[in-house]
């Protein structure tokens, strides 16, 4: 920061965090005050069975005693490798209750990634989910034999929870109470290894104070006021808990009195919404895009495409007018008609009781935000990174500008550097990278965390993110182009799965396109293409190219001529986490794609 930088915008906090506070207080305090309150909903068959605060704490204590009996000492690191499930959260609380530090690992991680995280963190215990994870772990030859391994799902012996409960049976509950008392708010709660689109992951050290600042900062605002007015509120957590956003919002939901369910099978998520009936949905933009695109595609396939498109336009117009406080009578009447014809069905598909949704992890896009708001499910977009303990800022019912990522949470401040980089500091901002002072010194200067994102702050404190500093494309003509906005608009097409804008040091802007494998069969049928035809076979088909060009035209309408996409290339396969082009939170790994499809990029500029 220098004297010429933009004046920081700060939001003061009413809450305080005492030196002795830690994250275990959240659930143990609930068990003390309202032991019969339902905290979790556990899936058994087709039923969601309640679990009280008392039972939750009993299970957490039993697991913590098992960890203590297994030799886990205060400050030790314990790795947790599993899909999203109830045991994940119980074990996380148990690790903290034993005075230790949780090291989450994505369930999709390769053996090499597991090896690096275990080595760098120095974890002495790993709790993994299934045989596949154990096989990956066992294939690593460089780790010490002293690492204790527990497995949640197994057929050849007791589960991790049962084994730890039995191991710790002779440890007195008072030992857990003592361990909890040794953990202060300044102590590390977790080491989260950034999934990263480039380079080797760094261990981001978040303290209990960071986590509690996130929880209390969210609850101090009015974001969840509508939810908290409901006698019963439910959150179905389906994002990977290894990601800081899912984990932090789980803690927020528990503190706010919501009943939390865990679900990992995203392929059957919509039917599960109907059974679970969530009051709150937390997701990443790609899921909201898929909900919209699937609904639109279904309407077009059923001959009701014009009705849906008119309804979508009306929802967007209604949301924009509502934001201005100027909803006319004609627009109000159209909105009421489409509510009966279209919007009510969309709300029913999400369980029929969803009061709101929170989006994070990547930009949502203004049109999608207005669409869902107009439908009756306001999506409150926030912004944050692993280094900011999930949300640093968020839109709320009382302070909302769709297209922005809201104002800072209480206890935090934002500034914009001379080069446009977003700088942050406050209670949610991380302490340091684990055993990596060089990386810490680069990321944090004079107390300000350099996000690597470009953005702006308006006079009211609303933050708008315009792109990534490292992703900024500079054409051969010297034009600076941020790809994120263009890509967001293109992905709004039901036919497009991913778009990656290219053109650094090239004469013009272009983009790589992947086709949505779920939308492609219906498109082929509507356009008279052979059912067995692949994307590769139809990549030069005039109809397919025209459909993609229409999406690109929409994107180009948002930028100047110099920033517009001049050419595109349709790739034969979609980007996936399994094939390495996507992170676990569904962000495109730009460097991987650029390397993997280098020939395709060159082909664009060779013509």
Tokens matching residue 226: 């509508």
> Between β-strands 203-207 and 432-433, what pairing exists: parallel, antiparallel or unpaired?
antiparallel
More confident residue, 545 or 468: 545
Cα 212 from Cα 453, distance rounded (Å) = 25
Q: Residue 4: which pLDDT band, with cuts at 50, 70 and 90?
A: very low
Above pLDDT 70, what percent of the chain? 98
> How confident is the model at residue 6, as a pLDDT?
55
547 to 307, 511, 569: CA distances (angstroms)? 20, 15, 13
> How confident is the model at residue 295, as a pLDDT?
86
Cα 556 from Cα 571, distance rounded (Å) = 20
Q: Residue 74: which pLDDT band, with cuts at 50, 70 and 90?
A: very high
393 to 190, 409, 432, 468, 551: CA distances (angstroms)? 21, 5, 20, 17, 30
Q: Which of 514, 497, 500, 487 is nearest to 591 (CA)?
A: 500
Cα 281 from Cα 377, distance rounded (Å) = 10
- Report helix, strand or coil for 304: coil
- Residues 6 or more apart whose CB falls under 8 angstroms from that of 342 comprise 299, 307, 308, 311, 375
Q: Residue 176: which pLDDT band, with cuts at 50, 70 and 90?
A: very high
- Report helix, strand or coil for 591: helix
CB count within 10 Å of CB 225 equals 13
Cα 140 from Cα 551, distance rounded (Å) = 45
| Segment among 8-17, 441-450, 576-585 with least mean pLDDT | 576-585
> How confident is the model at residue 3, as a pLDDT?
38
Cα 391 from Cα 217, distance rounded (Å) = 9
> Residue 578 class from Cβ within 10 Å (0-12 exposed, 13-18 middle, 19+ buried)?
exposed
Tokens matching residue 586: 């569904």
Cα 546 from Cα 541, distance rounded (Å) = 9
Q: What is the mean pLDDT of residues 389-393?
A: 96
Highest mean pLDDT among 299-308, 407-416, 598-607 belongs to: 407-416
Q: What is the mean pLDDT of residues 434-440?
A: 94
Counts of helices then strands in the chain (DSSP H, E):
23, 27
Q: What is the mean pLDDT of residues 230-258?
A: 94
Tell me the per-residue pLDDT of 250-304, one tens digit each, with 9 for 90 and over: 999 999 999 999 999 888 888 899 899 999 999 888 788 888 888 888 888 888 9
Q: Residue 505: which pLDDT band, with cuts at 50, 70 and 90?
A: confident
Angle at the Cα of 278 from the Cα atoms of 272 and 282, rounded to 5 degrees? 95
> How confident is the model at residue 271, as a pLDDT?
86
Domains of the chain: 23-41+49-183 (3.40.50.12780), 473-606 (3.30.300.30)
410 and 380 in contact (C-beta within 8 Å)? no
* Arithmetic mean of pLDDT over the chain: 92
> How confident is the model at residue 607, as a pLDDT?
63
The runs of H, that is alpha helices, within 339-492 are 344-349, 366-375, 437-443, 483-491
| Strands in 361-447 per DSSP E | 379-385, 390-394, 407-408, 412-416, 421-426, 432-433, 444-445
> How confident is the model at residue 195, as a pLDDT?
59
- Residues 6 or more apart whose CB falls under 8 angstroms from that of 172 comprise none
Q: Residue 230: which pLDDT band, with cuts at 50, 70 and 90?
A: confident
């Amino acid at each position: 920061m220098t004297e010429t930088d933009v004046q920081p915008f700060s939001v003061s906090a009413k809450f305080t965090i005492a030196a002795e506070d830690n994250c275990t207080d959240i659930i143990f305090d609930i068990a003390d005050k309202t032991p019969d309150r339902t905290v979790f909903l556990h899936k058994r068959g087709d039923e969601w069975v309640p679990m009280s605060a008392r039972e939750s704490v009993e299970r957490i204590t039993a697991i913590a005693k098992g960890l203590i009996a297994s030799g886990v000492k205060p400050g030790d690191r314990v790795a947790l490798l599993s899909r999203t499930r109830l045991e994940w959260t119980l074990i996380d609380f148990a690790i903290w209750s034993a005075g230790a530090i949780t090291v989450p690992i994505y369930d999709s991680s390769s053996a090499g990634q597991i090896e690096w995280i275990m080595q760098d963190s120095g974890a002495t215990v790993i709790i993994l989910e299934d045989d596949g994870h154990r096989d990956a772990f066992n294939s690593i030859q460089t780790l010490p034999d002293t690492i204790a391994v527990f497995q949640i799902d197994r057929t050849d012996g007791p589960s991790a929870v049962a084994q730890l409960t039995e191991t710790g049976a002779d440890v007195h509950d008072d030992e857990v109470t003592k361990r909890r008392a040794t953990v202060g708010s300044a102590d590390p709660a977790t080491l989260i290894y950034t999934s990263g689109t480039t380079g080797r992951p760094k261990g981001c050290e978040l303290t209990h104070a960071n986590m509690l600042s996130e929880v209390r900062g969210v609850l101090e605002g009015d974001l969840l006021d509508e939810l908290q007015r409901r006698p019963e509120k439910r959150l179905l957590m389906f994002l990977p808990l290894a990601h800081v956003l899912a984990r932090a919002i789980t803690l927020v939901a528990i503190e706010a009195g919501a009943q939390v369910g865990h679900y990992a099978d995203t392929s059957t998520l919509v039917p599960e919404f109907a059974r679970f009936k969530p009051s709150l949905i937390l997701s990443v933009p790609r899921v909201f895009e898929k909900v919209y695109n699937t609904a639109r595609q279904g309407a077009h396939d059923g001959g009701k495409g014009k009705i849906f498109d008119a309804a979508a336009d009306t929802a967007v117009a209604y949301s924009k007018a509502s934001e201005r406080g100027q909803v006319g009578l004609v627009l109000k009447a159209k909105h009421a008609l489409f509510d009966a014809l279209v919007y009510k069905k969309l709300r029913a598909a999400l369980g029929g009781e969803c009061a709101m949704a929170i989006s994070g992890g990547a930009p949502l896009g203004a049109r999608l935000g207005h669409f869902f708001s107009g439908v009756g499910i306001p999506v409150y977009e926030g912004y944050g990174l692993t280094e900011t303990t999930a949300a640093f800022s968020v839109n709320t019912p009382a302070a909302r500008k769709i297209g922005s990522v809201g104002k800072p949470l209480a206890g935090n401040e934002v500034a914009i550097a001379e080069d446009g980089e977003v700088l942050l500091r406050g209670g949610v901002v991380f302490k340091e990278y684990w055993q990596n002072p060089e990386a810490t010194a680069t990321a944090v200067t004079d107390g300000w965390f350099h996000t690597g994102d470009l953005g702006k702050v308006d006079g009211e404190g609303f933050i708008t993110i315009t792109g990534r500093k490292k992703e900024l494309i500079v054409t051969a003509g010297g034009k600076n182009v941020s790809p994120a906005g263009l890509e967001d608009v293109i992905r709004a097409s039901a036919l497009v799965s991913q778009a990656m804008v290219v053109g650094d040091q090239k004469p013009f802007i272009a983009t790589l396109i992947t086709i949505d494998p779920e939308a492609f069969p219906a498109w082929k049928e509507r356009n008279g293409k052979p059912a067995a035809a692949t994307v590769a076979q139809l990549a030069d088909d005039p109809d397919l190219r025209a459909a993609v060009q229409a999406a690109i035209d929409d994107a180009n309408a948002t930028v100047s001529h110099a920033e517009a996409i001049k050419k595109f290339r349709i790739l034969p396969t979609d980007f996936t986490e399994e094939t390495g082009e996507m992170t676990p939170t569904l962000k495109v790994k730009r460097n991987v794609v650029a390397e993997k499809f280098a020939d395709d990029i060159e082909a664009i500029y060779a013509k």
